[in-house]
Structure formats: structure tokens, C-alpha cells
Amino acid sequence: MTVKTCGINLLLRFICIGIVLLLFTACSSENDGSFSGTVLSAAPEAMDFSLVDQFGETVRLSDYQNQVVVLTFVYANCNEICPVIAHHLKDTEKYLSYEPNEIAIFLISVDPEGDTVESTQEFLSKYGMLEKWKYLVGEEEALKAVWRAFYISTSVKEGDPIANGSNSKDALETQLLANYSVTHQGPVYLIDRTGHSRSVFTLPFEPEDLANDMKILLEEN
């Protein structure tokens, strides 16, 4: 082999190494492994629970180990933070692709009296997620245990007395809903494949940041 040939081969090796380093740097800058949400440094084990989804099926958190679980709190007749949270959850799909058995999204009710099978299904259908997300309801005591475990406090606010008007059942129900709201926090928790809470988001946050943390947990062994 001539000196000229050796020189060319060496140059090609340096070029190849340079390309690999550039690709590695690009990938690292895109996701450096840093969480965007508030990191739960102790990574506490999430409390197991048993609730019922929008189809009447029993759902246990422990059944979803080996999946990344996204968990938040809503109620179907909410017109304030709940739609914002739902839109953000849906928008994460712009930044992240995953298989159905890799991520589970749980919306846990903060309104055990008002959330029904019909209202939960209607809520999920608004976002095209009836078959993809789990809207979990249950007895008040069962829900309260979950609220406490995730530091959720709720209060029901009654509005002004219903004015005289139509006495039909539909009209009364509409007026009741207009004068009724549940005040609650709306954190979004991320639970890893081993059942430990790893990070939490509170409004305002960006869907891209939530997707970043979901991706980190998906890539963990």
C-alpha cells in the first residue's frame, strides 16, 4: 500500500468519525435526558388503586406496570382547567409517537356525584380519545384516597339560587349544572414503568415539555 493510499484511507476514517460525532451531538442536543417537569427526586411509589373506566371496566394502577402512566384529575362538566389539560395531553402526540401498550393516560374524576358513564364518554369523545384514554370514576371514599395520595383537594361551589322558569327536568338539570362547579388542582403526574412517580406538571406548561418527559421514561429500561 502506498503512502498516498494510506493517507486517503486515514482521511476517510477521520471523515467517518466526524460524521458519527456530529450525529451523536445532534441527538444529544435534541434530548439531553433532562426532565422538563418538576422532578420528584424521591421517586415515591405511586399508590395502587382500583377504579372504573368509562366502559365500566375495573382499572388498577398495578396492572399498568411496564407502561408509562400519565395521570391527572378532571371532571366532565368542567369549563376551566380541564379542557386545557385535555388539549395539552392530546397535543403531546404532535411530539411523540408510541404504541398503545407503551403509555396509559388516566383522567381521574374529582366529581363522584356528577361524573356518569354518559358524561365521561362525552368528555373523551370531544377530544377523539374515547378508546385511547381512561376516565376513572368510583365511590367517593375510593376517589378521596387517590386524591390524598396525589395531594389533590377539592371543593364544590354552588352558584346563585335557580331562578323561576321552566320546571321541566331537562331545564332544571341545565340550570343546576350552570350553578355548580368543583374547584380542584390540575397536576399531571408521570409514573414510570416500575410504578414510581417521577415528575409532575402544573399549569401553565407546554405539551412539548410533557412529551419530553414521557419520552425519557419510555426510553428507560
Digit-by-digit pLDDT tens for the chain (221 residues) are 554 444 444 333 433 323 332 333 333 334 447 999 999 999 999 999 999 999 999 999 999 999 999 999 999 999 889 999 999 999 999 999 888 899 999 999 999 999 999 999 999 999 999 999 999 999 999 999 999 999 998 877 654 444 444 455 454 444 444 445 777 678 999 999 999 999 999 999 999 999 999 999 999 97
Backbone angles phi, psi at 36, to 5 degrees: -95, -30
Cβ–Cβ < 8 Å for 178, 159: yes
Same domain, 15 and 78: no
In this structure, the answer to whether residues 77 and 164 fall within a common structural domain is: yes
Q: What is the domain-level CATH number for residue 110?
A: 3.40.30.10
Q: Which residue has the cell 441527538?
A: 27
- Give the range of the structural domain holding residue 23, as residue numbers without chain letter: 1-30
Q: What is the pLDDT of residue 11?
A: 38
Do 156 and 134 share a structural domain?
Answer: yes
Asked if 40 and 105 sit in the same domain, the reply is yes
Residues 75 and 16 in one domain: no
By CB atoms closer than 10 A (0-12, 13-18, 19+), residue 96 is middle
Instruction: Compute CA distances 60 → 50, 74, 178, whole Å.
Output: 4, 18, 33
User: Is 75 in the same domain as 157?
Assistant: yes
- Separation between Cα atoms, residue 133 and residue 105, nearest integer Å: 5
pTM: predicted TM-score of the whole model, two decimal places: 0.76
Contacts of 95 (CB under 8 A, 6+ apart): 207, 208, 211, 212
Q: Are residues 119 and 192 in the same domain?
A: yes
| Residue 7 burial by Cβ neighbours in a 10 Å radius (0-12, 13-18, 19+) | exposed
Specify the number of domains making up the chain: 2
The answer to whether residues 43 and 197 touch, using CB atoms and an 8 Å cutoff, is: yes
User: According to the model, what pLDDT value does residue 170 have?
Assistant: 53
Q: Can you give the pLDDT at residue 83?
A: 96
Same domain (yes/no): 136, 72: yes
Q: Give the closest residue to 46 by CA, choosing from 63, 23, 62.
A: 62
User: Based on the domain organization, do 204 and 102 belong to the same domain?
Assistant: yes
**9 and 97 assigned to the same domain:** no
Q: In this structure, are 88 and 164 located in the same domain? A: yes
| Domain shared by 139 and 199, yes or no | yes
DSSP letters for 121-184: HHHHHHTT-TTTSEEEB--HHHHHHHHHHTT--EEEEE-SPPPS----HHHHHHHHHHTEEEEE
